[in-house]
Structure 1
């Protein structure tokens, strides 16, 4: 029997149970990764949706969900399996996409920035996001993930509090990346290119939106499934 979501359901729990609901939260600009520890009744504040309609939409998505969906599977996986999945499914493609997309962002800002000055801000934000995410994922793989697995093997390890504080810092970095993505969505009008936008212009906006979606799911796996195991 499937779970029925209510106004008191936490956003993160809803996405854990029915990952496809993340698309609904993105549509209404409701943060399900960094701000996922929030009940629906609070999350809808200031959003263009009625609470009862949102609850119904989420329950409909849950009823039609594919039970083999990504996040639902990882909820019951070991930390080692989750970490390996994060590296292979998110870190490696993220590194490739950030480097591949960078010249397109620069080109669009150079060619169209005169008529669309918001592109200069897009370029600035993307550069900040790229640096933030590459440094963050590099640190996770080099130190944070090994420390988490050490804590997993020995929950009473002497430097347990230091590792927990390190995890807290990762969450703060997630918040910063999330803020940058929110700014990008706002300044691009939900990644909607103008009518005079060329093919490259449209490509950049589409790939930025895909980058946002992948980053949200990446952060959700860490913030709401992996990290809470150690608090």
Structure 2
């Protein structure tokens, strides 16, 4: 079977076709959500990633029969209403719950270990900014933007310009939280634990990394599947 993509295929289109390729992009720290409009070769070159090796790993995902099953997290053929309900149920609700549960652990680790590991003070700062922005962002989507999208079955409606303005605002917010997550990864040296890391320290790093993965899929679904329909 020949590869269903080339070096010039947009990163977002590869993930749209097979969401499991996001695992490969994550491994190489290639942005598939906010930076998804970038050709594969450009994204790889910018981070000095071997393009042949990258394409081989992506192709392996495509060839894996297990990954071809109909369990995709994103659906290009689904209605906007179906995608919105999926976002609310599988991303917004778990996100808000995780932010609430993780907060006391982030605070505790920063207080207990911050003197010897000053990077944890930065983790605390970045996490709480991320938390504030995502709570506000999710509320704006559910209270204002999603209801508007569900009413706009015809993208040529007279309200289209207003909707595009809201979408552009949301995408800028996505860019910002993406930068916060990249800063968290950088300050933690890719979530590498020190030798003296306690159980709570370990828990915080693992859950922050999981939060990053979920957020990137969340943003990809909105930017590259849902919002793209209205431009």
Whether these two folds match at TM > 0.5 is: yes
State which drifts further: 76-85 or 49-58. 49-58
1:105-158, Cα deviation, whole Å (9 max, x unpaired): 000000000000000000000000000000000000000001111112x43432
Distance 2:63 2:197 in 1: 39
Deviation at 1:46, TM superposition (A): 3.5
Tell me what 2:229 maps to.
229
CA contact (8 A) 1:151 1:157 kept: yes
1:70 to 69, 72, 80: 72
Report the Cα distance in structure 2 between the residues aligned to 1:222 and 1:99, rounded to whole angstroms. Answer: 23
Q: Which residue of 1 aligns with 2:155?
A: 155
1:105 maps to what in 2? 106
Distance 2:46 2:155 in 1: 41
Following TM superposition, by how much is the alpha carbon of 1:2 offset from its aligned partner in structure 2, in angstroms? 7.5
- Compare 161-170 and 62-71 and name the one that shifted more: 62-71
* TM-score, structure 2 as length reference: 0.95
Cα deviation, 1:25-75, whole Å, max 9, x if unaligned, reads: 111110000000111110012425211111111011111123313235x22
Query: How many angstroms apart in 2 are the aligned matches of 1:29 and 1:88?
Result: 27
The CA distance in 2 between the partners of 1:3 and 1:230, in whole Å, is 30
Contact 1:28 1:48 in 2 (8 A): no
How many residues are paired up?
229
Gaps of 5+ in 1: none
**Contact kept? 1:2, 1:63, Cα under 8 Å:** no
Partners of 1:19 and 1:69 within 8 A in 2:
no
Q: TM-score, normalised by structure 1?
A: 0.95
Equivalences for residues 17-56 of structure 1 within 5 A: 17-56=17-56
Q: How does 1:70-219 map to 2 (within 5 A)?
A: 70-72=72-74, 74-152=75-153, 154-219=154-219
Judge which range, 141-150 or 38-47, deviates more: 38-47
CA contact 2:83–2:226 (8 Å) conserved in 1: yes
Verify the 8 A CA contact 2:160 2:230 in the aligned structure 1: no
Q: CA deviation at 1:18?
A: 1.3
Distance 1:46 1:158 in 2: 40
* RMSD of equivalent CA atoms: 1.3
Partners of 2:222 and 2:99 lie apart in 1 by 20
Instruction: Kindly report structure 1 stretches of 4+ aligned residues shifted beyond 3 Å.
Output: none
CA distance in 2, matches of 1:160, 1:48: 40
